[in-house]
A and B are shown apart, each in its own frame.
Chain A
Amino acid sequence: MDFLEKHLENRLGALEAAWPSIQFWLLNAGANSEQSFNAHLALEELLTNVIRHSGHRDSIPIRLAFDQGRLTIEMRDKGAPFDPRTAPEPRLDQTLETRRPGGLGIHMIRCTARDIRYRRENGQNVIQVDY
């Protein structure tokens, strides 16, 4: 199993600086372009969620593992408990005038992931996403 561990800065836009090295690792590990794209999406949306909503103040540890064609992304934070599997679905049936943001990022992860797991461990949210 190949794996990569990093800490992302706790600020919007932090992934932009970290992404090239993560993408390089994904390509070397054997991830395909769809897995790489979806990993980018999951990291971006989970990071945004932690920064905006969790109250977590430190850097954010992530772990990527690639084994026999399966990619797993893990993110941990010490914020308020948040299970992405039970987050409400966004309203996508509204008009351009009435549609409001919120919930879209988690919805996009749920639609693209093979599996999502969540546990609360030692006061931390631990979210794992498989592709």
Chain B
Amino acid sequence: MEYVLEHMERYSILILRGSLDGQGAMTLQAGLGALADDASQPLVLDMAELSFIASMGISLLLRLARGLSERNLGTAIYRPAPMVEDILRIAGLHQLIPIEQELGKAVGRLT
């Protein structure tokens, strides 16, 4: 699991790469534990290079989005691979965090 956090003018973008399984969730949690507390911008989760996600990864993303929401900051998911998107939808995540295939649309869903 690798990730890159980039700060744009109006939002931040978290690029996720590899496998967000139990181990990946622990790695991401350790690296970004304070992100929701310190964030001042909404967040786009770029999943184009995420090859796998499991329930521990989904729970981590829910906690992250909840923490941002408590600061009135939105979260959107951008271009997940088809099988990853299927899992996100099975988990009902699309009802809580918008999923878009275009960056402009994802940014538009942040408010």
Contact A13 B69 (CB under 8 A): no
Contact A96 B59 (CB under 8 A): no
Contact B21 A104 (CB under 8 A): no
Q: Is A99 on the interface with B (CB-CB < 8 A)?
A: yes
Q: Is A121 on the interface with B (CB-CB < 8 A)?
A: no
Number of interface residues of A (CB under 8 A): 26
| C-alpha gap A34/B81 in the complex (Å) | 12
Contact with A along B63-86 (1 / 0, CB 8 A): 001100110000000000001001
Contact B56 A40 (CB under 8 A): no
Contact partner, A92, options B26, B69, B87, B91, Cβ 8 Å:
B91
Interface residues, chain A, CB within 8 Å of chain B?
12-13, 15-16, 19, 33-34, 37, 40-41, 44-45, 48, 92-93, 95-97, 99, 101, 104-105, 107-108, 111-112
Contact A15 B21 (CB under 8 A): yes
Contact A44 B54 (CB under 8 A): yes
A sample of 30 inter-chain contacts (CB < 8 A) reads A13-B21, A13-B22, A13-B26, A15-B21, A15-B22, A16-B19, A16-B21, A40-B21, A41-B87, A44-B22, A44-B54, A45-B54, A45-B55, A48-B22, A93-B95, A96-B97, A97-B66, A97-B70, A99-B62, A99-B96, A101-B55, A101-B59, A104-B59, A104-B91, A105-B55, A107-B90, A108-B54, A108-B55, A108-B87, A112-B86
